Structure 1
Amino acid sequence: MKISAIETYLVSSPLDVIWKTGIGTGTRRDELLVVVRTDEGLYGLGSSYHSHAPLAVKAIIDEKLAPMALGESALDIQGVWEKLYYGSVYLGASAVSAMSGIDIALWDILGKVSGQPVARLLGGGGVEKVVAYVGCMVLGHKPLEELLQEAKSYADQGYRAIKVRGGAGVERDIEVVRAARELLGPKVDVMIDMNASYSWPEALRVAKGLGEVGAFWMEDPFDFTVANHHVEVGRLTRAGLVPIASGGNVYSRYDVLNLFKQGGVDFITPDAVKCGGISEAIKVAHLASAHNILVAPHTLSGLGQVANVHFAAAIPSHVRAHVEWDPSPKNPLRDALLTNPIKFEDGYLHVPQGPGLGTDINWDVLKELPFDTGEEISGHGRPRQRRWNPA
């Protein structure tokens, strides 16, 4: 069974509620879908992270990765991964994101050929559901009372953990977590994602305050300049002020290994659509297992969430943590585009039991979600503003 064609499709869906964070203001969801076709008529589905440059990542697949993969065995997943990775290393993290969708699609093909769900092929055959935490494009910057009402609505739906968006200022971030912990009580974990907003002294101050109010973790306080990010995150983790999470923007097991060597994290948050696909995500989980670091998969909208739930089911149980989930009531990339969306119930995400990823694409719906050019998150990439030097 040979790879005969690779197709890419960009889709967009506007947000019902504008999403404000320390990294910018979100107005829509984008997803880059990958379809790998074979000479036997079978196809697999995947998703590649758009890296906030969707057309560029699409071009990497169309112009660089796809020609390398054509003619290769669709069942030689590891061999294809090696060829794509070492044939595109000079493109850096963008190539790792791009090849993720191809890898996921090959796992989908293997599942269809064998009649097994991907989670079972990965070794997660006994895991039927994984615990979710509220994340993605919700719980952004807004007046405190509105934020608390939103947080309570998720707890009332059965979620056992939520993640608010930080980067609004040291005192404000601490206040938000304190108020949410007081409202929701001890049975609901409260995380906070800083979206790379802070300098070292600011991060130290906010980490101390968050530890005192019982934050479950503090995620990504620093910018992702690789060397500095790894050193600073490791340094903050060793300080032991509050549990530290990172990894959603750390690419491949090699990058993760460097992060661990610099002092590590308490929670690693890989995403199969970013880190090199399901093949690489499971390697990251095993690396974390060897370091006794908990694995809490990051996810994005739609098909990427499906891939990450399969991955989560196969994470070694002693380090498997929460899985990120977007509970927005209106998300066409999740609910309309997929024939079998992930099901949430009483705080858990059910692992699909059909062959492969357990879902297909509604091709007619795909045509109704045209890609919208421009920024998914406006203001993304601007210089960080410090309170003593306001814009």
Structure 2
Amino acid sequence: MKITAVETYLVSAPLDVIWNTGIGSGTRRDELLVVVRTDENVYGLGSSYHAHAPLAVKALIDEKLAPMAIGEDALDIQGVWEKLHYGSVYLGAAAVSALSGIDIALWDILGKVTGQPIARLLGGGGVDRVVAYIGCMVLGHKPMEDLLAEAKSYADMGFKALKVRGGAGVERDIEVVRETRKLLGPGVDVMIDMNASYSWPEAVRVARGLGEVGAFWMEDPFDYTVANHHDDVGRLTKMALVPIASGGNVYTRYDVRNLFERGGVDFITPDAVKCGGISEAMKVAHLASAANVLVAPHTLNGLGQVANVHFAAAIPSHVRAHVEWDPGSNNPLRDDMLTNPIKVVDGFLKVPTGPGLGTDLKWDVVRQLPFSTGEEIKGHGKRRSRRWNQSAAAPAPSKAAEPVNA
């Protein structure tokens, strides 16, 4: 079964409200869809992380990876992965994100050919649901009263874990977790994502305070683009002030191994659409299993969330933790674009049982979700603490982006 074409499609959907975080302000959801076609009329679907530069990642697939994949055996998933990864020299993490969608699509093809869901092919056939935590593009920076009302709405839906956005300042971040836990009680886990906001001394202060108020984890306090990220994360983890999570922006098993060797984390958060596909996500999970590190998959949008639910079902059970889930309103990528969206019951995500991913795309809906130019998240870069820089105000909301054809 030979690969005959690799197609890419960009889709966008605006958020109902501006989503403010420590890293910037979000205005929409983007997804880069990948379709791999074969000479036996079997096709597979995948999703590649857009890296906040969707046109660039799309070009990587169209101009670099697709030509390498065409003509290869669609059932030789490992062989194709190695060819694309080691053949995409000089392109780094962007190429890893790009090849993720192709890898996921090949697993979808294998599932269709064998009549099995991907989760079962990966060894997770005995798992019919995975526990979710509320995350993605919700629970951003907002007045405390509004944030608590939003958090309670998710608890009322049956979710037992949620993640608020940090990076608003040491005292504010501690207050947010304290007040959310006070409102929801001990039966709901409260995580906080710092979105790479803090210096070393700030991170220690906020970690100590979060441990005192019972945060379930603190995620990504440091900028992962700097050379000493793994050292700092490992050093903070060893202090045992609060459980530390990281890994959504750590690519491939090689980078994860380096993170573990430098001191590690308590939770690793790989995403199949970012870290190299389902194939690489499983290798990361096995590394974590050997290190006894809990695996809590990060997710993003629509088709990518489906892929990560299959991955989560196959994570070794002794290290399988929560799976991120976006419950936000008006999300056509999650609800309208897929023929079989993920089912949510009492805070659990049902693992699809159909062949492959267990879903297809509604192409009429895809065409109604034209890609929008501009930034999905208008980043403001890392700022000096407000303690020393009183002018560090929240960024102004982004202007509405202009739609273009995918």
Could you state the TM-score of these two structures normalised by the residue count of structure 2? 0.95
Q: Structure 2: any 5+ residue segments left out of the alignment? A: 393-406
Counterpart for residue 382 of structure 2: 383
1:352 maps to a residue whose letter is: P
CA contact (8 A) 2:197 2:382 kept: no
Q: Does 1:28 align with 2:28?
A: yes
1:223 equivalenced with 2:194 (yes/no): no
The equivalent of 2:300 in structure 1 is 300
- Aligned partner of 2:128 in structure 1 is 128
How many angstroms apart in 2 are the aligned matches of 1:159 and 1:382? 32
Letter in 1 for 2:337: L
Provide the rounded CA distance (Å) in 2 between the counterparts of 1:186 and 1:298: 23
Amino acid at match of 1:282: M
Do residues 337 (structure 1) and 334 (structure 2) align?
no
1:212-361 alignment runs, 5 A limit: 212-361=212-361
The residue matched to 2:7 in structure 1 has which SS?
strand
CA-to-aligned-CA distance 1:277-313 (integer Å, 9 cap, x gap)? 0000000000000000000000001000000000000
| Deviation of 1:154 (Å) | 0.3
What's the CA shift for 1:335?
Answer: 0.5
Mapped contact 2:16–2:329 kept (Cα < 8 A): no
- Say if 2:2 and 2:39, in contact at 8 Å, map to a contact too: yes
User: 1:320 deviation in Å?
Assistant: 0.1
1:42 deviates by: 0.8
Give the whole-Å Cα distance in 2 for the aligned partners of 1:319 and 1:276: 20
Give, as a single letter, the amino acid of the residue that structure 1 aligns with 2:178: R
Shift of 1:257: 0.3
Gaps of 5+ in 1: none
Distance 1:334 1:141 in 2: 23
Tell me the CA shift for residue 17 of structure 1. 1.6
Within 5 Å, give how 1:140-159 maps onto structure 2.
140-159=140-159
CA contact (8 A) 2:23 2:382 kept: no
CA deviation after TM superposition for structure 1 residue 90, in Å: 1.2
Alignment RMSD:
0.7
Q: 3-state SS of the aligned residue for 1:370?
A: coil
Equivalent residue runs for 1:8-23 within 5 Å = 8-23=8-23
Once the two structures are TM-superposed, the CA of residue 225 in structure 1 deviates from its matched residue by 2.1
Shift in Å at residue 386 of structure 1?
1.7
CA distance in structure 2 between the partners assigned to 1:385 and 1:276 by the alignment: 33
Which amino acid is 2:161 matched to? A
Letter in 2 for 1:18: I
Could you tell me how far apart the structure 2 residues matched to 1:383 and 1:120 are? 42
CA offsets 1:134-180 (integer angstroms, 9 cap, x no match): 00000000000100000000000000000000000000000000000
Contact 2:131/2:348, CA 8 A, preserved across alignment: yes
Q: Tell me whether 1:75 sits opposite 2:108 in the alignment.
A: no
Rounded Cα–Cα distance in structure 2 between residues aligned with 1:106 and 1:227: 34
Q: Secondary structure at the match of 1:163?
A: strand
The one-character-per-residue Cα deviations of 1:330-351 (angstroms, maximum 9, x if unpaired) are: 1000111100000000010000
Q: Does 1:137 align with 2:137?
A: yes
**C-alpha separation in 2, matches of 1:24 and 1:97:** 21
Partner SS, residue 186 of structure 1: coil
* CA–CA distance in structure 2, aligned partners of residues 290 and 4 of structure 1: 38
Secondary structure at 1:153 match in 2: helix
Amino acid corresponding to residue 127 of structure 2 in structure 1: V
Q: Distance in 2 between matches of 1:353 and 1:255?
A: 32
Structure 2 counterpart of 1:277, one-letter code: G
| Secondary structure of 1:126's aligned partner | coil
Q: Show the counterpart of 2:365.
A: 365
1:244 maps to amino acid: I
Residue 117 of structure 1: how far off its partner (Å): 0.1
Equivalent-residue separation in structure 1 for 2:268 and 2:17 (angstroms): 29
Letter of the 1:386 counterpart: S
Distance 1:57 1:329 in 2: 27
Residue deviations 1:165-196, cap 9 Å, x none?
Answer: 00000000000000001000001000000000
Query: 2 CA distance for matches of 1:329 and 1:205?
Result: 35
Alpha-carbon distance, 1:228 to partner: 1.2
Letter in 2 for 1:5: A
What is the DSSP-based 3-state SS (H/G/I as helix, E as strand, rest coil) of the residue aligned with 2:320?
Answer: coil
Q: SS in structure 1 opposite 2:145?
A: helix
Change in 2 beyond 3 A, CA 1:272/1:381: farther
1:56 aligns with 2:49: no
Q: 2:58 & 2:98 partners in 1: Cα distance?
A: 7
Contact 2:6 2:66 in 1 (8 A): yes
TM-superposed CA distance for 1:224, in Å, is 1.2
How far is 1:328 from its partner?
1.0
Q: TM-score, normalised by structure 1?
A: 0.99
**Alpha-carbon distance in 2 for matches of 1:145, 1:240:** 31
Q: Which amino acid aligns with 2:285?
A: A
Q: Deviations over 1:237-264 (max 9, x none)?
A: 0000000000000000000000000000
Matched, 1:106 2:106: yes
Q: Does 1:174 align with 2:174?
A: yes
Deviations 1:196-238 (A, max 9, x none): 0000000000000000000000000000125311110000000
CA distance in 2, matches of 1:346, 1:21: 27
**Contact residue 69 and residue 84 of structure 2 kept, 8 A:** yes
Secondary structure of 1:89's counterpart equals coil
